[in-house]
Structure 1
Amino acid sequence: MPSTLSRLVWFTALIIALLSSYFGYNYYESLGKALETSPLSFYDNPFTPTSDPSRRAYATTLYDEHYVPGAILLGYSLKKHGMLDSQVAQTMLLLHTPGSLGELSMQLLQEVGWTLRTVNHIPPPIGRPPAHNFMDQYTKLRLFELDDYDMIFYLDADMMVVRPFSEIWSFPVPLAATRDVRMGYGWLPSINAGSLLLKPNRRLLSHMLEIAPTYKYNYVFAEQGLLNGEDPYWARDITILPYIYNGQLGIKRVFPKIWERFKDDVKIIHYTGLKPWQWYEKPDMPVERELWWREWEEMLEERKAQDLVDISRMGRNPREM
């Protein structure tokens, strides 16, 4: 007669087998959905650009107060270089989660031209924790819900426009991004989601969230990992943009000689790593940080002339925010 211990072992093994079968089935089911379903199938005209500037919007996201100085200067730089124009694009959208921004921050962001839109947080899939600093990043996928616009050009709040790029709106793509660069790895085949040109589509967003809990991707990088999925999904249909639309300072750190060759063509600088408003002294990228501060001081002068709130201390000390 089997002992109590023996029966317990067999029962435990049975439970493990059943759970493995359940999760294994769900994994392959969702993987199959991803492999069988192209994101393009959710669009009627995936490769048709919009010619209506009122149906185009720039967008960024904020989940706390830390990136407010960056978002303010990003908005200023978009307007300075003619990106907010009746013949180019007419809207700057800033997505934020409930309670993430204080009243003063919202006032300052609206003053620079951002239209604020509250969106619900998208948590990471259960059992798939991203890196600590990416815990809120799945919420960026709310961009695909913005179907009151035909095209969205998204920029991280730690980016700054340095040259006009109105030609971006003529790219006929459902999703486009630049490749990533990372210290210790160099050039990567995956994308960097710091800038994204995309066509909103709510059904597609629902599908991405449906497969996210079990689809094979590097979930450490949250939404960027999902868009980079290791098996064909977006990888089959994503368009790769030149680095001039996402001039990651990681390029300069990893390949300084290459950066020197194309830095004068960069249209959007991406301040990956330490942010200019984090350190005023001893920056690790003196030229690029000096450029950010020069733009910041220029903006402060314009605000002073318009008799707007003095925010000079905000830039120099993030603890003042």
Structure 2
Amino acid sequence: MKTYLLPRREAYLPLVAGYASHPHNRRTLYNALIIVFSIGLNLFFVVSYYNRPQPPPPLRQNPLDHYQGLNTFPLVNQDTLSKSLSSRTFNPEEHAVVTTLYTDAFAPAVATLGHSLRKANTSARLILLYLPEKVSPSALCVATSSGFVAQPVARIPPPNNGEGAHPHFLDQFTKLTLWKLDQQGIKSLVYLDADTLVRRNFDELFTFPFNFGAVPDVYLDDNGFILGFNAGVLFLRPSTTVFNQMVSQIATADFPHLEAEQSFLNHYFGAEAVRLPYAYNGNLAIKQRAPEMWNRTAHERRIVHFTLAKPFLMGDYERVPWYELEERVVEVAGYEDGAYKEETMWWGEMFKEMKHTYAKQLHKCFRHSSSRFSASSTS
């Protein structure tokens, strides 16, 4: 019989334990773990670096982005203007400032705009074009309290039932009705969006010899200052013939629909429009894009356009109750770390002044109304 000798129990250890028990082998294992950890950590940082949010590319620059204020001459030649306004051929009744109202939400803005026009001593008629099916009697009463004369107009629908247009611009083709005002003896007019505020008289525009003029637009993206114009402030000479032609071409003209009537007008008048100075459309986008230009041209600014901050609206173009408007102004003044505080407070002060000046008229607007406007805050 063969005898099998078994190894002593204490001599048996698992392979790995035996490997690690040797000092040299243990150091090798630790070094391998450190290398693996280091590689993993480096891979993590490399992947994180390339997956990090990338900063936007630098905006394309043009001279207005580096405005230096080199030109110190006045915007308007006063001698020529005085002769034109004093001429026997200048009749204030033949000129108008026109705005529009398609929703109750803008009624306080229209009233405030009207008061700012009166303070600027414009010589022109004040006309408000409104959609009777969309504007309540109380809102219309408020909008006309400071001097605008209301005229109902028919809505001009957007092409393709508004497909591709911004939802807030679906009524804006109604603006083309401006060209029919020649039927009321108006020879020239300045159109102002309701979200504008007049800071200084601009009657010189009524002596303008051209048929159409507007201020070049400005964007915060790479488009920047462009040749195309903003339709929030327009100078035009009404013509029913032009109106009929424009309306007949809306459905077939080849233009991007997103910006609605502004895009259409840029295509219709693009080659003929005279570009007005930025003083006539102080778009808040200018302040954001080129603050130096905004500050240095402030003394000539006639009109401020509240494109980026609307003190009289809340949320998605929602109406602010009358009694909450002053509180809303303070709230909007804090937007963007107060970037538009000064201009927003201008509007707020003009609104409060308007309420006081036309308190009796405003009280009548609320007396028999169930509107969300409050009669308790008209004084």
TM range (shorter): 0.7 to 0.9
Q: Does 1:102 align with 2:136?
A: yes
**Structure 1 residue ranges without an equivalent (≥5):** 1-48, 313-317
Match of residue 93 from structure 1? 127
1:132-143 maps to which residues of 2 (within 5 A)? 132-143=167-178
Q: Distance in 1 between matches of 2:274 and 2:143?
A: 31
Q: What is the aligned length? A: 260
Q: Please, which of 120, 123, 130 is the counterpart of residue 154 of structure 2?
A: 120
Pair 1:286 & 2:347 matched: no
1:175 aligns with 2:222: no
| Aligned counterpart in structure 1 of residue 264 of structure 2, from 201, 206, 226 | 226
* Alignment correspondent of 1:75: 114
CA distance in 1, matches of 2:142, 2:132: 17
Give the drift of 1:228: 0.8
Q: Report matched runs for 1:251-262 at 5 Å.
A: 251-262=286-297
Relative distance call for 1:65 and 1:170 in structure 2 (3 A) is same
Write the deviation string for residues 111-161 of structure 1: whole angstroms up to 9, x where unpaired. Answer: 211111111101111265311111111010010111121111100000011
Partner of 1:191: 229
Please give the alpha-carbon distance, in whole angstroms, between the structure 2 residues aligned to 1:151 and 1:81: 19
Aligned partner (choices 246, 270, 287) of residue 235 of structure 1: 270
Query: What is the CA distance between 1:258 and its match in structure 2?
Result: 1.6
Larger Rg: 2
SS at match of 1:220: coil
- Matched to 2:151, the amino acid is R
* Aligned residue identity for 1:55: E
Q: How far is the alpha carbon of 1:107 from its aligned partner? A: 1.8
Give the match's secondary structure for 1:180: strand
Cα contact 1:283–1:289 (8 A) shared by 2: no
Q: Secondary structure of the equivalent of 2:309? A: coil
Give the residue type in structure 2 aligned to 1:58: V
Paired with 1:235 and 1:65, the residues of 2 have a C-alpha distance of 32
- Would you say the 8 A contact 2:111–2:354 is kept in 1? no
Once the two structures are overlaid, the 10-residue window that deviates more, 110-119 or 274-283, is 274-283
Question: Would you say the 8 A contact 2:178–2:238 is kept in 1?
Answer: yes
1:73-112 CA-partner distances (Å, limit 9, x unpaired): 00000011101xxxx32x2110011222211122222321
The residue number in structure 1 matching 2:192 is 155
Shift of 1:236: 2.1
Distance between the aligned counterparts of 1:170 and 1:307, measured in 2? 33
- CA separation of 1:307 and 1:210: change in aligned 2, threshold 3 A: closer
Q: Name the residue aligned to 2:101.
A: 62
Letter in structure 1 aligned against 2:107: V
The Cα offsets for residues 144-195 of structure 1, whole Å up to 9 and x where unpaired, read as 1111211111000000111111111111111110000112121111110111
> Which residue identity does 1:51 align to in structure 2?
F
- Equivalence for 2:35: none
Q: 1:307 to 1:122 in 2, by over 3 A?
A: closer
Distance 2:147 2:251 in 1: 37
Structure 2 match to 1:8 = none
CA gap of 1:307–1:270, structure 2 versus 1, over 3 A, is closer
Residues of 2 paired with 1:259 and 1:267: CA distance? 13
User: How far does residue 319 in structure 1 lie from its aligned partner after superposition?
Assistant: 6.1
1:54 maps to a residue whose letter is: E
Partner letter of residue 107 of structure 1? C
8 Å contact kept, 1:303–1:310: no
SS of the residue corresponding to residue 214 of structure 2 reads strand
Task: Indicate the residue corresponding to 1:27 in structure 2.
Answer: none
1:308/1:222 Cα in 2 relative to 1: closer, same or farther (>3 Å)?
closer
Task: Choose between structure 1 and 2 for higher RCO, CA contacts under 8 A separated by at least 6 residues.
Answer: 1
| TM-score between the two structures when normalised by the length of structure 2 | 0.64
Offset of residue 225 of structure 1 = 0.5
Determine helix, strand or coil for the equivalent of 2:104.
Answer: coil
Residue 126 of structure 1 aligns to a residue whose secondary structure is helix
Deviation at 1:310, TM superposition (A): 9.0
8 Å Cα contact 2:138/2:365 also seen in 1: no
Structure 1 residue 214 and structure 2 residue 248: aligned?
Answer: no
Q: 1:34 aligns to what? A: none
- Separation of aligned partners in 2, 1:102 and 1:60: 17
Contact 1:59 1:153 in 2 (8 A): yes
Distance in structure 2 (CA, Å) of the matches to 1:53 and 1:248: 27
Matched residue type, 1:138: F
Q: Which amino acid aligns with 2:312?
A: W
What is the distance in 2 between the residues matched to 1:132 and 1:55? 35
Query: In 1, are the aligned partners of 2:145 and 2:358 still within 8 Å (CA)?
Result: no
The answer as to whether partners of 2:95 and 2:188 remain within 8 angstroms in 1 is yes
Output the amino acid matched with 1:80: K
| Corresponding residue SS for 2:144 | helix
